[in-house]
A and B are shown apart, each in its own frame.
Chain A
């Protein structure tokens, strides 16, 4: 698959007959054959089904039927979403005996109805409860993690094996692997994309959304996935705006808020420099940068873990009794700790969210977006649980990979990660753009302007030959 081929350009080529959906899908499947053995982004590849769907899309396009921007586009699905006829294992041995799903998750169904071609399922950290996805390696350095929990989706995109991939995000699980693998990740507003048919981690923090190689691709996918679903109690009824129409509008006159605390603390030198350079790019494009303070930030992480662990443990309580020995030790430990989480902490964390929302509402009443690093640093080594972020500051992966992304889960605000640089090892870094509730259009507009003004999104990991040699080491 041509690295430069974005979804909208592919769509034009499909409709003009210059490219066929079968050729595009076959190219993705060939690419998976070439590169996935070393990285292991895919749980399963649905080659025959994909070719059949591509043939159908091709025939529909030829007779003038247009299902929208994803018609004939190959995509991958995180193994947390139901895909009709296939098992949702959620990355866990404890679900190995699960029956195939009877129907698609709501978002998968919308993508399928929109003509997308599902090439396979990608690895998730077990039950989405972790930030490393240990089954999969980072395409930029096979000794490093791709991030998680949507690590398979991010790695699959970095390798150009598909044009879009689904992810879920409870404390950063779309944006974090996107940043670590050098691709784009979009967590929409809570309620914007249905979660029915997705294995939950933490109901009140979970979001579903797209990962893609380009901002425009994420916008196209969100356009198809967004909308109300009566089966999801958190689903929102507001109409879905046009996410594609404003992508070229630039940032002239927009105000970018930059917190002076929390998001600026304990960053790697490379991430700090990349953030500053990114702000200079936006200023150069005509945006105004405004410093702000977030006085409640010290409580974000405690609230996130109090909610996530309590809700996850409630969901898993019965399964822990019947299948506990089949969970990985790290996830079982988190769930057992969650069973002991005081109810009062859970309730207070939910109360605190109202204060966090008010704090962010105040900032976003004065600014159009908040622009911060997605993560404090780049991808960790796979055999490490601690990151040396600066010469004097080391931090656990669990803490460092969550602290900058969790505020958008607590508040439910839309947040996008785009590639914004590389560190001294050549590893990708991510820039996070957070917006007002249900204003994904402005978030994507800012992301597209940044992308257009920089070249970070064009960088790709080493060649497939390098992967094969590495796999044989």
Chain B
């Protein structure tokens, strides 16, 4: 069971506001995706071969801190 307040319906004005905000946010995300997706596609076309992430694990790090 949720808290009593969580069961209370939202005020109509607040609902409209949130719906508008949510729609605007969805639009922004869609626009961003439309711009980013082709860039990511071009990156994925790169032949990475045997290249690896240049990670260095230092087992001593933190031991003396």
Q: Which residues of B contact A302 (CB under 8 A)?
A: 36, 39-44
Is B28's beta carbon under 8 Å from chain A?
Answer: yes
Is B51's beta carbon under 8 Å from chain A?
Answer: yes
Contact in complex: A398, B35 (CB < 8 Å): yes
Is A458's beta carbon under 8 Å from chain B?
Answer: no
Is A347's beta carbon under 8 Å from chain B?
Answer: yes
Contact in complex: A337, B40 (CB < 8 Å): no
Say which residue of B24, B43, B46, B54 sits within 8 Å of A329 (CB atoms): B24
Q: Which residues of B contact A337 (CB under 8 A)?
A: 29, 32-33, 36
Of A87-95, A276-284, A349-357, which stretch is located at the interface? A349-357
- 1/0 per residue, CB under 8 A from A, across B15-44: the answer is 000000000110011001101100111111
A-B contact count (CB 8 A): 68
* Nearest CB of B to A382, in Å: 18
Contact in complex: A351, B48 (CB < 8 Å): yes
Say which residue of A299, A333, A396 sits within 8 Å of B43 (CB atoms): A299
Contact in complex: B28, A351 (CB < 8 Å): no
Q: Which residues of B contact A180 (CB under 8 A)?
A: none
- Distance, CA A301 to CA B24, complexed state (A): 26
Contact in complex: B51, A298 (CB < 8 Å): no
Q: Which residues of A contact B40 (CB under 8 A)?
A: 302, 305-306, 345
Is B52's beta carbon under 8 Å from chain A?
Answer: yes
- Distance, CA A298 to CA B54, complexed state (A): 22
- Distance, CA A219 to CA B37, complexed state (A): 39
Contact in complex: B29, A352 (CB < 8 Å): no
Contact in complex: A355, B48 (CB < 8 Å): yes
- Distance, CA A103 to CA B25, complexed state (A): 37
- Distance, CA A350 to CA B43, complexed state (A): 11
Query: How many residues from B make CB contacts under 8 Å with A?
Result: 21
- Distance, CA A442 to CA B29, complexed state (A): 42
* Nearest CB of B to A202, in Å: 15
Contact in complex: B25, A305 (CB < 8 Å): no
- Distance, CA A298 to CA B44, complexed state (A): 10
- Distance, CA A227 to CA B34, complexed state (A): 42
- 1/0 per residue, CB under 8 A from B, across A310-336: the answer is 000000000000000000011011101
Say which residue of A303, A333, A347, A350 sits within 8 Å of B29 (CB atoms): A333
- On whether A298 and B28 interact (CB within 8 A), knowing A352-B48, A354-B51, the answer reads no
Say which residue of B33, B39, B52 sits within 8 Å of A301 (CB atoms): B39
Is A399's beta carbon under 8 Å from chain B?
Answer: yes
- Distance, CA A284 to CA B35, complexed state (A): 41
| Residue ID in chain A nearest B56 by CB atoms | A233
* Residue with the greatest number of chain A CB neighbours at <10 A, chosen from B24, B32, B40, B43: B43
Contact in complex: B51, A301 (CB < 8 Å): no
- On whether A345 and B36 interact (CB within 8 A), knowing A329-B25, A351-B53, the answer reads no
Contact in complex: A347, B53 (CB < 8 Å): yes
Is A296's beta carbon under 8 Å from chain B?
Answer: yes
* Nearest CB of A to B53, in Å: 5
Is A33's beta carbon under 8 Å from chain B?
Answer: no
Contact in complex: A354, B43 (CB < 8 Å): no
Q: Which residues of B contact A351 (CB under 8 A)?
A: 48, 51-53
Contact in complex: B32, A355 (CB < 8 Å): no
Is B11's beta carbon under 8 Å from chain A?
Answer: no
Q: Which residues of B contact A354 (CB under 8 A)?
A: 51-52, 54
- Distance, CA A137 to CA B3, complexed state (A): 47
Q: Which residues of B contact A296 (CB under 8 A)?
A: 46
Q: Which residues of A contact B5 (CB under 8 A)?
A: none
Q: Which residues of A contact B28 (CB under 8 A)?
A: 329-330, 333
Is A348's beta carbon under 8 Å from chain B?
Answer: yes
Contact in complex: B43, A306 (CB < 8 Å): yes
Which B residues contact A (CB, under 8 angstroms)? 24-25, 28-29, 32-33, 35-36, 39-46, 48, 51-54
* A and B contact pairs by CB, cutoff 8 A, 23 listed: A299-B43, A299-B45, A301-B39, A302-B36, A302-B39, A302-B41, A306-B43, A329-B28, A330-B28, A333-B25, A333-B28, A333-B29, A336-B25, A337-B33, A345-B40, A348-B44, A350-B53, A350-B54, A351-B48, A354-B52, A354-B54, A355-B46, A396-B35
Which A residues contact B (CB, under 8 angstroms)? 296, 298-299, 301-303, 305-306, 329-330, 332-334, 336-337, 345, 347-355, 396, 398-399
Seed contacts A330-B28, A349-B43; 20 additional CB < 8 Å A-B pairs: A298-B42, A298-B45, A301-B43, A302-B36, A306-B43, A329-B24, A333-B25, A333-B28, A337-B33, A348-B43, A348-B48, A350-B53, A350-B54, A351-B52, A351-B53, A352-B51, A354-B54, A355-B46, A396-B35, A399-B35
